[in-house]
Chains A and B, each alone.
Chain A
């Protein structure tokens, strides 16, 4: 047996093992965090006003936060531009990756194929801008810590290798899809023998493992911020906020 074959089969087993481990770690980690957030009550109505006075209004407020980042827009226009493009690019890329997971591929995913790379570059450019801003502004440099750089480095590495396997050293789509579908159907096959793809895939798995214990939790946490998702109903009859752990005074 050739030594390169041995190395590739070792890499394969490692990658397949890591994939299942990462999926499990991500799922359990996220469930644990989510359960922790949801079982914790809010002892008082914690609303930042002016606030909507109905549940529907509060839902709209959170939807607005998730899609348009209005608070960020108020706070810092350049940061808003960078952050919004970053997230739009990320969402488009994630959506486009459905072509590696699904069969048949949704037609919308295929329609966006001509502009797919544009979103890749957009995401990369926005990430670079945010990184530059973090380093260049004394205020953000002061508050940045190692986890901030870890998250940016992982994202940057994923974006770079992702763009490279789509342009400079193209990976064979059918191989990727066979590998991913194999993982998903618990019938793993060999990954494409393409070093850049292996790096790209490994970084994604590391990100998944890192996700539940990192600041990336803002992805779900934004829905659970009491100051934003609570309607102001202090004077609304029948809407008394009850604190479940409170005991009557002696």
Chain B
């Protein structure tokens, strides 16, 4: 991984955790690409397994279809003035120095093709209009750089027109997937959801086992009869966690259990759908909708009163699309879609936990909070996690203003990038966040996203930031008295 800027961040001249734009090194990151998808996965998710015959025309047809279906794409293809405001805002450029990771350069890969096939000028005088054929070289560039974008939208916050590169990346990936070009990681995950109900491919018996194991564990540790119900018909709440909470981030899973135990709420997870994180977002509309539909179906199968989304960024992004994708949710108790931290804030304000929180339980931590891109920039969840932390933590320190809330940096692995072959990009992309955390000198990095919780321990270690990574809910239940 010696290709990128390996300057140790402690010596970085950057102040306040903000990275200075590195020198341009064109195509330095072009060698880092995802593995291509496998037939066993693509056939399950209704996609061609390899490059289809006549792929150029098919791709342009798909492009035309998306231009007619998506206003954002149509407008954003035309109105960019290349002012450069976004050029130093993407963590993947800041980490790699590859100017193709400028949000504008990434989008221009698509605009060049747009101008060539959909504008009068570009069709007739491509040279004068910066238009380019959709040829093998261009497809290669698309595959490389649209899979070095985590769809985090940081650039859209700094664009004078709010041009959202996530929309452009999503469209480019949809076009590519329609002609048989997709990544192993994303297609594998979506296929696993159809097989097992979750992204990690945990079969139902293993899920139940894990839950029982957690119950025994907590019983031993605390003596409390905390339960992790599975497929409990008629429960009040169906919790849709990221499946990683049951497997890797068990501290967060335990926190759900403790919270609901304390509240005396009858809750359940579902083995039909024990996953909120929707990888259809990184592939195409059809799978986005099908994956998300499983949540509604699971809730109906179990006849629950309402659905609660757990600590997962992409799940929340899917959640806010649910009424649009899968029909009105009026068979459930409002409000919907509902996030566990919104519920928690409501209860805290009502005084439900008055006198039952001991902040000093977290006194060995200096806590900072990493805004996951999807909760902050797509899902309006900026104050809720902070409010919860205010109730359960004494030592809280914010990272610099340019790196939090709507300006937050992506952890470096969202948007379908959390895969080993992209490790150099992930670590480079994580540099900006690592620098900001280091600046705070915190020893606990809290967040509310499973992908962040998987990426941040790796990137913090790589950039030598001694910090523990965990959930906000985990800190909350630490402070809760039983």
Contacts and interface: CB of A to CB of B under 8 A. Distances in A.
Interface of A: 33, 36-37, 40-51, 65, 69, 71-72, 74-76, 79, 83, 133-134, 137-140, 142-148, 150, 213, 215, 217-218, 221-222, 224-228, 232, 234-235, 237, 240-243, 245-246, 249
Nearest to B100: A142
Interface in B51-70: 67-70
A226 B378 CA distance: 13
Contact of B86 (A41, A75, A227): A75
Given A37-B74, A227-B164, A48 B102 contact: no
Nearest to B112: A145
Interface in B434-458: none
A215 B162 contact: no
Contacts of B378: 47-49
Contacts of B99: 139, 142-143
Given A213-B121, A215-B78, 11 more contacts: A49-B377, A65-B160, A65-B162, A71-B158, A142-B99, A143-B99, A146-B129, A221-B161, A226-B164, A227-B167, A243-B324
B130 A83 contact: no
Given A75-B89, A234-B323, A237-B334, A143 B102 contact: yes
B87 A225 contact: no
Interface in B138-176: 153, 156-164, 167
Interface of B: 21, 23-24, 26, 67-72, 74-76, 78-89, 99, 102, 104-105, 108, 119-121, 127-130, 153, 156-164, 167, 285, 289-290, 293, 320-321, 323-325, 328, 334-338, 376-380, 382, 405-407
B82 A148 contact: yes
A44 B162 contact: no
Nearest to A250: B290
B44 to A, nearest CB: 15
Please list the 5 inter-chain residue pairs (A to B) with the smallest Cβ-Cβ separation, ordered nearest first. Answer: A221-B79, A75-B158, A75-B85, A145-B130, A140-B84
A76 B334 contact: no
B450 to A, nearest CB: 20
A139 B74 contact: no
B382 A76 contact: no
Q: Which of A75, A217, A240 has the most CB of B within 10 A?
A: A75
Contacts of B88: 139
A48 B156 contact: yes
A245 B69 contact: yes
A242 B74 contact: no
B323 A225 contact: no
A65 B21 CA distance: 26
A140 B380 contact: no
Nearest to A133: B84
Nearest to B376: A49
14 contacts: A47-B378, A50-B406, A72-B85, A75-B85, A76-B84, A139-B21, A139-B24, A143-B84, A143-B104, A144-B82, A215-B80, A221-B161, A228-B161, A243-B325
A71 B80 contact: no
Q: Which of B74, B160, B407 has the most CB of A within 10 A?
A: B160
Contacts of B83: 72, 79, 83, 140
Nearest to A137: B84
Contacts of B337: 234-235
A63 to B, nearest CB: 14
Given A46-B167, A218-B161, A140 B86 contact: no
Contacts of B76: 225
Given A41-B71, A143-B84, A221 B78 contact: yes
Contact of A44 (B85, B161, B324, B382): B324
Contact of B336 (A71, A140, A227, A235): A235
A79 B84 contact: yes
B131 to A, nearest CB: 10
A225 B84 contact: no
Contacts of B405: 50
Nearest to A62: B162
A215 B81 contact: yes
Given A71-B157, A213-B119, A142 B324 contact: no
B70 A83 contact: no
Contacts of B324: 43-45, 240-243, 246
A144 to B, nearest CB: 6
Given A48-B156, A235-B336, A226 B108 contact: no
Contacts of B80: 215, 218
A78 B160 CA distance: 14
Contacts of B108: 143, 145
A42 B380 contact: no
Contacts of A146: 127-130
A167 to B, nearest CB: 30
B85 A76 contact: yes
Contact of B24 (A50, A51, A142, A217): A142
A42 B377 contact: no
B145 to A, nearest CB: 14
B318 to A, nearest CB: 10
A232 B321 CA distance: 12
Contact of A42 (B72, B104, B105): B72
